């Protein structure tokens, strides 16, 4: 299979968002040659920008959107889109869990991940979960349409940097990157919490963002400290902040509080 080169605003608890644009009976796609796309992102401006960009193309259309994983899963099962665009950080189940659920329901649905998190950390995880492409949000205006078309053609789509890393790991026999990544032992949810701690969110806000109990988040924190051999909460916070800063620097990303300007102006 070919490998092609290619803001995390403070969450405010709000009702789930779902919009359906498809015509005709639920579960029966309308007769069309366009790629039917469902968008999942908890930032309304990002959804708006993606919708405007995609609907401006002659060969694709957005048929629905949601802000959280649970709502998206239910709607995807009804609408059966050709492709899903999803963020990693979502309220409720993470984007990685959404990918697994979508692929278990219908392996024929392609998934493109659009995220602010450094793809060198997440790309291999989302590809293993079943996604076909990873696009960072600061690159979305130039790469997401190509990623969609390549995914529909059966190709994988990541940046040249990450493609090189993946090939090197394959050649070196370190497929999971365990030799050079201190967080390789963390689960997908634990890694998500590491990123949120590093972004400055306290336990209560992390719980609200992820639709988890405070106790569950605290349990994850305990597991993270044990796996990373950190002695206390202070060391945990220091590690997470440093981790986020280093990976943003490696990816050439500043603190992203809003979607790219081009997306804000779209639609």
Q: Kindly report the three-state secondary structure assignment for every residue of 65-133.
A: EECEHHHHHHHHHHHCCCEEEECCCCECCCHHHHHHHHHHHCCCCEEEEEECCCHHHHHHHHHHHCCCE
pLDDT value, residue 57: 96
pLDDT value, residue 260: 44
Question: For the chain, what percent of residues have pLDDT higher than 90?
Answer: 49
Distance of alpha carbon 143 from alpha carbon 137, whole angstroms? 10
End-to-end C-alpha distance for the chain, whole angstroms: 35
For residue 4, count other CB atoms closer than 10 A to its CB.
Answer: 17
Beginning with the edge strand found earlier in the chain, give each strand of the sheet holding 60-66 in spatial order.
Answer: 3-5, 156-158, 133-136, 110-115, 83-86, 35-40, 60-66, 18-20
* 228 membership: H or E segment, kind and range: helix 214-228
3-class SS of residue 31: coil
Tell me which residues of the chain have a pLDDT lower than 50. 6-15, 22-25, 31, 176-179, 253-267
Per-residue pLDDT of 182-228, as tens digits, reads: 787 888 889 889 988 998 999 999 998 888 899 999 999 999 999 99
3-class SS of residue 93: coil
CA 165 remoteness from chain centre: 20
pLDDT value, residue 258: 40
């Amino acid at each position: 299979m070919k490998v092609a080169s290619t803001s995390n605003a403070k969450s405010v608890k709000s009702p789930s968002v779902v919009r359906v644009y498809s015509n005709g009976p639920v579960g029966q796609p309308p007769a069309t040659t366009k790629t039917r796309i469902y968008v999942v992102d908890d930032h309304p401006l990002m959804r708006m920008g993606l919708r405007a960009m995609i609907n401006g193309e002659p060969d694709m259309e957005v048929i629905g959107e949601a802000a959280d994983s649970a709502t998206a899963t239910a709607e995807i099962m009804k609408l059966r889109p050709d492709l899903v665009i999803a963020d990693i950080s979502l309220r409720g189940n993470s984007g990685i869990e959404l990918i697994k659920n979508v692929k278990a329901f219908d392996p024929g649905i392609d998934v493109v991940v659009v995220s602010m998190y450094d793809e060198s950390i997440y790309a291999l995880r989302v590809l293993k979960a079943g996604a076909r492409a990873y696009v960072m949000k600061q690159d979305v205006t130039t790469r997401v349409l190509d990623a969609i078309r390549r995914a529909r053609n059966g190709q994988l789509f990541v940046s040249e940097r990450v493609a090189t890393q993946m090939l090197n790991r394959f050649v070196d026999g370190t497929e999971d990157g365990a030799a050079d990544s201190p967080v390789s032992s963390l689960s997908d949810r634990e890694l998500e919490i590491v990123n949120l701690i590093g972004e400055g969110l306290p336990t209560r806000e992390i719980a609200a963002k992820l639709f988890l109990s405070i106790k569950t988040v605290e349990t994850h924190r305990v597991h993270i400290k044990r796996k990373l051999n950190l002695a206390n909460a202070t060391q945990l916070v220091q590690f997470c902040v440093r981790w986020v800063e280093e990976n943003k620097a490696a990816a050439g990303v500043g603190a992203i509080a809003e979607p790219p300007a081009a997306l804000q102006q779209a639609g």
